[in-house]
Amino acid sequence: MRKPHTHTLRRRPSWFRPVAVRARNDGWSEVRQCAFLAQLYFTGSVSAAAKAVGMSRASAYRLRARPGAEGFAFAWDRVLTLPGAGHPGAAREDGRKVTMATLHARLETDLVRPVIHSGRMTAVDRKPDNSTLFRLLRLTKDWPEPPDDSDFWRASGVIEKQPRSL
C-alpha cells in the first residue's frame, strides 16, 4: 500500500493579510511570507520552512508575534491543523471596536495567498478585502438620498401618468 504524501495531511494556506514590515532585501516581504506558508504546507516544520526561504526559525516566530500579524498567524495555524479538526481557534477581533483608520489601512493592503501547483509555489494570488470596503461604506452612509426622478420617467413615457382602469 502506498503511503500518502505528508502535505496532503495538512490544509493549503488560506487568504491572509501580510504583516507590514520595512522593505528590505533580506526581510520578510509579502512574497517571502507566502513562500514560508507554502513551505510550511510541504514540510510541516517551521525550521525547514524558514530555512527554505532564507530566514531563521526565530525570525519567523518574531514575525508571527508582531502586532498586526493576526492574519499571518491564523494562516500558519491553519496550515498545521489537520483537515477535519475544525478551525484552529483564531483570536477574532471584536468587530465593533475597529476604528475608521484601521479600516482605511485594511483597504490599502490586499489579501494574499500562495498559489501551489505541481509541488511548488508558482505565484502569489491577490484579492481586495471587499468585506472591509462594504463595512466602511456602511459606516459612512450619511449621503443624501438621490433626487426623485419620477418626473423624468413620466416625461419619457416609461411611467404612465394615469393608472389604467381595469
Look at residue 17 and tell me if it is in a domain.
yes
Count of structural domains, the chain: 1
In a domain, 122, yes or no: yes
166 located within any domain: no
pLDDT in tens, the chain (166 residues): 555 555 567 888 889 999 988 888 888 999 999 999 999 999 999 999 999 999 999 999 999 999 989 899 999 999 998 777 666 665 556 667 788 888 888 888 889 999 998 888 899 999 998 888 888 888 887 665 655 666 665 666 655 655 555 5
Note whether residue 61 is domain-resident: yes
Euclidean distance between CA atoms 84 and 68, whole angstroms: 28
- Give the start-end residues of each E strand in the chain: 111-117, 120-127
Q: What is the pTM of this model?
A: 0.73
Q: Is residue 151 part of a domain?
A: no
For residue 154, being part of any structural domain is answered with: no
Does residue 149 form part of some domain?
no
Looking from the CA of 165 toward its CB, the CA atoms found within 13 Å total 0
Q: Please report whether residue 107 resides in a domain.
A: yes
**Are 105 and 20 in contact, with CB atoms under 8 Å apart?**
no
Domain residues for the domain of 85 are: 6-141
